[in-house]
């Protein structure tokens, strides 16, 4: 029988072990147990792992453990597709260096004050977390130099490259030394991901972790036949019935997010939204309210919600069927975190049946179709049919 992997058995430093204890982490997840030693040993990695499996610590811990605090040069960058994910990764990394005050971390992303970022970069951070466009902007201004970089991490690489950042990512990697360690984390191994891996990685080790067993989020998935404005009524009934206090609602279009938020605010009150047209300062305020439990319902588009990592989201509602199969996993993965059980509800019309079947097959998900009884309680549709037959 193989020996159980613990954070202590990974030979981590005392400051990092203390930080992990303060963060409430007792044992490494499978992706962390497999990846931390490989990244620490300098291997190029291409890791395929689902949302919510602890990827930030999987690359963050070895970055922190291996850097030299006495050096002023930038030693590691973490590239990610959105501002929200950039902020989330930075928050997690700073939690990991809580007892390591000599290590400096900065984040740079679009939509934020450029001068403040310049001031942060003048303090010679060891790690910079960035979106590709803003990193290139700072590079062109001479604020960031990658000439002594040890490691480049691409988080959510498939999403980042699919969003059109592939040229920016190539320009960034071309500015690093030829022996820079390249670590890629991705939910899927898309053609774009494999192209970048082939071009910039050397003898990369592929790590794949399936979402199963203790590593699989505990999410009860339900399908609700509903359409039009009835979806909001059904959603509010479910929230009241289950007494949910922290919920995320996903819609495909910014206009739907705006309209739904306005309608929900009139009915429920504690509601706000995230979408691409909002200024970054306002998005930050909304996310702060949600994290601090001052907001019960957050309505969002897929891109705006990337990187949201709030442990106690009780339920997710798919107001619209997602456009991409992978988005279904990213959406429902907002709940069921930290070994809690979550719930995901997907509203479906008759025309959505085949599309939803494909999504569930692709994501290997099981979902129970539910309907409302005469008292507006949700019951399995199969039970209702059984009762009809008995009558």
Per DSSP, helices labelled H in the chain are 14-22, 30-40, 55-66, 83-96, 114-121, 132-140, 157-160, 166-174, 191-200, 230-242, 254-267, 280-291, 325-332, 353-363, 381-390
N- to C-terminal Cα distance for the chain? 55
| Residue 2 pLDDT level (bands cut at 50, 70, 90) | very low
* pLDDT at residue number 214: 46
pLDDT at 258 over 90: yes
CB neighbour list of residue 229: distance below 8 Å, 6 or more residues apart: none
DSSP secondary structure code for residue 262 in this structure:
H
Closest CA to 205 of 78, 42, 29: 42
More confident: 340 or 69:
69
Range 117-131 average pLDDT = 95
Helix (H, G, I), strand (E, B) or coil at 63: helix
80-84, 113-117, 178-182: the lowest-pLDDT one: 80-84
Cα(150)–Cα(14) distance, integer angstroms? 23
Cα(112)–Cα(86) distance, integer angstroms? 12
Closest CA to 372 of 243, 250, 239, 237: 237
Q: Phi then psi for 181, rounded to 5 degrees?
A: -70, 130
Closest CA to 251 of 311, 323, 314, 158: 323
- Judge whether 80 and 156 are in contact, CB under 8 Å: yes
What global pTM score does this model have? 0.65
pLDDT at 95 over 90: yes
| Residue 194 pLDDT level (bands cut at 50, 70, 90) | confident
């Amino acid at each position: 029988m193989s020996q159980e992997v613990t954070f202590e058995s990974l030979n981590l430093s005392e400051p990092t072990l203390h930080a992990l204890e303060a963060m409430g982490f007792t044992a490494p997840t499978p992706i962390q147990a497999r990846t931390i030693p490989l990244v620490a040993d300098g291997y190029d990695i291409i890791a395929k792992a689902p949302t919510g499996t602890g990827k930030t610590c999987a690359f963050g811990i070895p970055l922190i453990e291996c850097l030299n605090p006495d050096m002023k040069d930038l030693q590691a960058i973490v590239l990610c597709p959105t501002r929200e994910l950039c902020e989330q990764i930075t928050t997690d990394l700073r939690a990991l260096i809580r007892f390591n005050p000599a290590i400096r971390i900065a984040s740079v992303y679009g939509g934020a004050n450029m001068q403040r970022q310049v001031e942060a970069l003048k303090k010679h951070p060891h790690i910079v977390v960035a979106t590709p466009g803003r990193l290139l902007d700072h590079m062109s201004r001479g604020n960031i130099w990658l000439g002594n970089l040890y490691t480049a991490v691409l988080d959510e690489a498939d999403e980042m490259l699919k969003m059109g950042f592939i040229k920016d990512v190539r320009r960034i990697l071309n500015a690093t030394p030829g022996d820079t360690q390249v670590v890629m984390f991705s939910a899927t191994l898309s053609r774009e991901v494999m192209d970048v891996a082939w071009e910039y990685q050397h003898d990369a080790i592929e790590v794949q972790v399936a979402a199963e067993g203790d590593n699989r989020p505990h999410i009860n998935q339900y399908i609700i036949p509903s359409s039009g404005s009835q979806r909001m009524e059904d959603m509010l009934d479910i929230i009241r019935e289950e007494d949910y206090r922290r919920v995320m609602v996903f819609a495909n279009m910014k206009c739907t997010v705006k309209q739904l938020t306005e309608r929900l605010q009139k009915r429920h009150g504690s509601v706000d939204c995230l979408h691409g047209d909002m200024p970054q300062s306002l998005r930050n305020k909304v996310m702060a309210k949600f994290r601090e439990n001052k907001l019960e319902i957050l309505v969002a588009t897929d891109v705006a919600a990337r990187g949201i990592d709030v442990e106690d989201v009780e339920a997710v509602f798919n107001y619209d069927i997602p456009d991409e199969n992978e988005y279904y996993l990213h959406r429902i993965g907002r709940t069921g975190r930290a070994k809690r059980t979550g719930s995901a509800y997907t509203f479906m019309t008759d025309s959505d049946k085949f599309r939803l079947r494909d999504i569930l097959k692709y994501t290997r998900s099981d979902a129970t179709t539910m309907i409302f009884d005469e008292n507006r309680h949700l019951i399995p549709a199969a039970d209702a049919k059984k009762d009809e037959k008995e009558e």
